[in-house]
Amino acid sequence: MVTSNPALDQLGGNRLAGLQELANRLRSDGAPLYDFAIGDPDEPTPDVIRRALIDAVGPVSRYPTAAGQPALRAAVAAWFGRRHGVDLDPDTEVVPSSGSKEAIFHLPLAVLDPHGPRRHVLWGEPGYPTYASGAVFAGGVSDPVTLTPEGGWRLSLTDLPAARLQRACIAWLNHPHNPTGATADVGWYREQVAVARAHDLLLVSDECYQEIWFDEPAPSLLEACDGDLRGVLAVVSLSKRSGMTGYRSGAIVGDPELIARLKVLRPHVGTASPDFVQSAAIAAWNDQTHVEERRGIFRAKREVLLDHLAEAGIEVSGSAATFYLWFRAPGGDDAAYAQALLRERIVASPGRAFGPGGAGWLRLALVPSVEGCRAAVAAWRAAIEAGRLPSD
């Protein structure tokens, strides 16, 4: 009998897979289905990026390097400077990744000692499950902190007892936040940096939704460091910013000692992006026009849904940025409300899919077109009026 890694049994599969299967079955009958479940909008990847990829496909294919092309590291550093006012040395403070998911998953392998006293990894739940998977597969312990609407859906290290901070090696922050869309400001980041430094805890900020903001540009954790990047990293991605989920491109930036360690680890893993993807990524980081256009599209969809939720008297929380809206389940049961919406051919994610702290809430991903959002709202409203959906 072949042995099995207990981490696999502990973590299980994709928590949204069941919902997606059901949605696919419903879709097969040909009638419209309004799918707000998966965080993968279908706006096309901008031409300038596709063209850069095609032009870079040469006759000879070679292994890419984990350190990436110097021009890609320079493009990431230049974007960080323009967007966040933070100076990064492209050679020592930037390493590219194949999207942010693998970067998040693999990062503990560089810092977590599975036999040491600091094996815990802090993250906020509801949240992105890969913080837990990375910890557990590296031989550590996932230590989720329950987020609340009162706490602004933020993992505040200032609220945790010293013993919990002392047994951890990494704390993950994520703003703008999946699934709640909550944001954080530079002052809040400063407080987290102070606590993390006092406890020798690596602070990593997952900033993959950085460019999907609506009122104020979302700051980076690195803005709160005043040029001293010891013990802090940020993970960035082109997936959401540039409609490049299928390309797999992002970067890890920050503390040069940690970046050096990642450059030792990552060639073992074999996740370096193909050179043609790196060329497309350079074009993407160097262009801001398409980012503004995408933001305008999400803004229009968001307004349709926000107007509807307000009119229906449904409480919205977080939701200041990202292409997610987070709302309280009328009737209190997120799974029951998701089921009831499915009968109206509207797919929303029950909050408990993102951890027990998400129970009672649902997430809408702004995936359908503006017209699709309008049609979904009309169906939703009609169901409320007909008494087919639970209300408070």
Ligand X SMILES: Cc1ncc(COP(=O)(O)O)c(C=O)c1O
The residues of the shown chain that bind ligand X, judged by CB under 6 A, are: 39, 99-101, 128, 174, 178, 206, 208, 237, 239, 245, 250
Nearest to ligand X of 20, 166 (CB atom): 20
Instruction: Compute the chain's Rg from CA coordinates.
Output: 21
β pairing state of 168-173 and 202-206: parallel
In the complex, the smallest distance separating the C-beta of residue 42 from ligand X, rounded to whole angstroms, is: 15
Closest approach, Cβ 323 to ligand X, in A, equals 10
Burial of 159 (0-12, 13-18, 19+ CB in 10 A): exposed
CB of 363 to ligand X, least distance (A): 11
How many Å apart are CA 89 and CA 262, to the nearest integer?
15
Task: For the CB of residue 97, give the shortest distance to ligand X in the complex, in Å.
Answer: 8
Q: Which residue, 330 or 350, has its beta carbon nearer to ligand X? A: 350
Nearer Cβ to ligand X (99/231): 99
Comparing CB distances to ligand X, the nearer of 327 and 380 is 327
CB of 128 to ligand X, least distance (A): 4
Q: What is the largest CA-CA distance in the chain?
A: 63
Q: Which is nearer to ligand X, 39 or 64 (CB)?
A: 39
Give, in order, the Cα–Cα distances in Å from 303 to each of 57, 124, 127: 40, 28, 24
Least Cβ distance, residue 386 to ligand X (angstroms):
34
Helical H runs in 112-206? Answer: 130-137, 162-166, 186-198
**Closer residue to ligand X in complex, CB, 100/389:** 100
Residues 6+ apart with CB under 8 A from 322: 176, 177, 178, 181, 209, 212, 240
Q: Distances from the Cα of 363 to the Cαs of 38, 43, 264, 338, 367, in angstroms?
A: 10, 20, 38, 10, 12
Residue type, 52: A
Instruction: For ligand X, give the closer residue by CB, 183 or 239.
Output: 239
CA distance 298 to 41: 9
What is the closest distance, in whole angstroms, from the C-beta atom of residue 179 to ligand X in the complex? Answer: 8
